[in-house]
Structure 1
Amino acid sequence: MSVPPSPPLRPLFWAFLRIGLLGFGGGPSMIPLIQQEVVKRHGWMDEEAFGDVLAIANTLPGPIATKMPGYIGYRVAGVSGCAIAVLAVIVPMIVAMIALLGVFSRYRDVSWIQGMSQGVVPVVMVMMVQLTLDFWNKSRLAIGVWVSLGMAGVAGGLIYWLGVHPGLVIGALLLAALVTPVARREQEAGR
C-alpha cells in the first residue's frame, strides 16, 4: 500500500511569504509575483488557469492580495493550504505596515524617506507592464489580435470614459464566455 504524497505546504508557505515580503505597492503589484511563483516556478497552475483565477478574483469583493493566495492555496493543498498561503502573504504586510508607518510618521520630513516611497512606483510599473504583455500574448493567441484589441478598447471605454466599475465589465465578459461556447457547440452540431 503506497502512502499518498503530502501536500506541498512548506513550498506553498515560502512562495507566498516571498510574495508578501516583496509585494510593494499593494495587491495589483503582487499579481506578477504570484504568477511567477505559481505558474513559472512551481507549476501549480498553467497560464490559462491563472488568468481565470485572476479574472474571477477581480470580480469578487475584497483585496486581491488575499483572494488569489487563498484560492491557489486551497487548490494546491486544501483548507490548510488556503490558511497557510493567506497567512504567509498577510503577516509580512501587517508587520511591515506597522513598522513602516511608524518610521514614516516619525521621519516624514526627511528627503530620503520621501524618495523611497516614490522610488517604488517605477518598479511596480515595470511589473505591471510585464503582466500586461503576458496577458496580451495569451489573448492574442487565443482569440486573435483584432478581437483582443476590440475587447480592450470597449473595456477601456466602459471603465475610463463611462465610469463603469471594472468588476461589472469582467462579470459581463465571464457571462459572455459562459454563453458563447454553448452557442458554438450548437452550431457545430447543426452542421
Structure 2
Amino acid sequence: MIYLHLFLAFFIPGLIGFGGGPSTIPLIQKEVVDHYQMMTLKEYSSVIAIGNIFLGPIATKLAGYIGYELAGIPGAAIAIFATVAPTTLMMIGLLSVIAKHRKSLRVKRLTMFVIPIVGVLMLQLTLKFFMQAVQTNSWIPTVLIAIFAYFALQRWKINPAWVIISALVVGAIFL
C-alpha cells in the first residue's frame, strides 16, 4: 500500500503542478504531510531545505528522498517515476498542440490567470514554514534570518544555494 500512496502523492502534484517545481512543493506537502501523513511538516521543511542545496529539479529530489526514506530504493524509483510521468506523458501527447497554438493570445491569457494561483500556493507554504520557524526559534532569530535572506537574494543578488548554505552554517553554530 505504501507504494501506491507514494505513487499518488507524487503523481497528482506532478499532474496539476503548473509551473514546475516551485508550484508543486505545496501540492506535494499537501499529499505527503496532510493527506497520507508520511511525515510531519517539520520533516518536510527539512527535506526541502536539504533538497535546495543540490542541483536539479526540487520535485524529483523530494520524490527520491521521501520515497527512499519510506520504502527504500523501490520507493524512490516509484516516487521519481510518479513525479516525471505526468509531464512526460503530457509533453508527448500535447507537443503538436502546443507547437500549433504557442503564439495564441488565449493561451497566453490562460497562463496569466494561473500565475497568481501559483503565487498564492507559494505564499501559503512560505507562511507555514515561517510560523514553524517562529515556533522552533522564536520571533527575533526568524525575522533576522528572513531579513538577511531577503537582502541577500533581492538586493545583493547572491545565489540562493549560498544563502541556504549560510543559513545551515548559522544553524549549526547556534545548535
Cα deviation, 1:155-183, whole Å, max 9, x if unaligned, reads: 111111111111111111112222322xx
Higher radius of gyration, 1 or 2: 1
Q: Which runs of structure 2 are paired with 1:92-103 in the superposition (5 Å)?
A: 92-103=86-97
State the TM-score, normalized to the length of structure 1.
0.86
Q: State the partner residue of 2:139.
A: 145
Q: State the partner residue of 2:99.
A: 105
Structure 1 residues 161 and 81: alpha-carbon distance in aligned structure 2, compared to 1, 3 A threshold: same
Q: State the partner residue of 1:120.
A: 114
Q: In 1, Cα distance between the equivalents of 2:111 and 2:133?
A: 34
Structure 1 residues 145 and 100: alpha-carbon distance in aligned structure 2, compared to 1, 3 A threshold: farther
Does the alignment pair 1:22 with 2:46?
A: no
Structure 2 segments unaligned to the other structure (5+ residues): none
Q: In 2, Cα distance between the equivalents of 1:156 and 1:107?
A: 38
Q: State the partner residue of 2:36.
A: 42
For the residue of structure 2 that corresponds to 1:25, the secondary structure is: coil
1:16 offset after TM fit, Å?
A: 1.0
Q: 1:78 aligns with which of 72, 76, 80?
A: 72
State the TM-score, normalized to the length of structure 2.
0.94
RMSD across aligned C-alpha pairs, in angstroms? 1.4
Does the alignment pair 1:157 with 2:151?
A: yes
| Same amino acid, percent of matched pairs | 38
Q: In 2, Cα distance between the equivalents of 1:101 and 1:125?
A: 26
Number of aligned pairs? 175
Structure 1 segments unaligned to the other structure (5+ residues): 1-6, 182-191
The answer to whether the Cα contact below 8 Å between 1:107 and 1:113 also exists between their aligned partners in 2 is yes
Q: In 1, Cα distance between the equivalents of 2:154 and 2:120?
A: 22
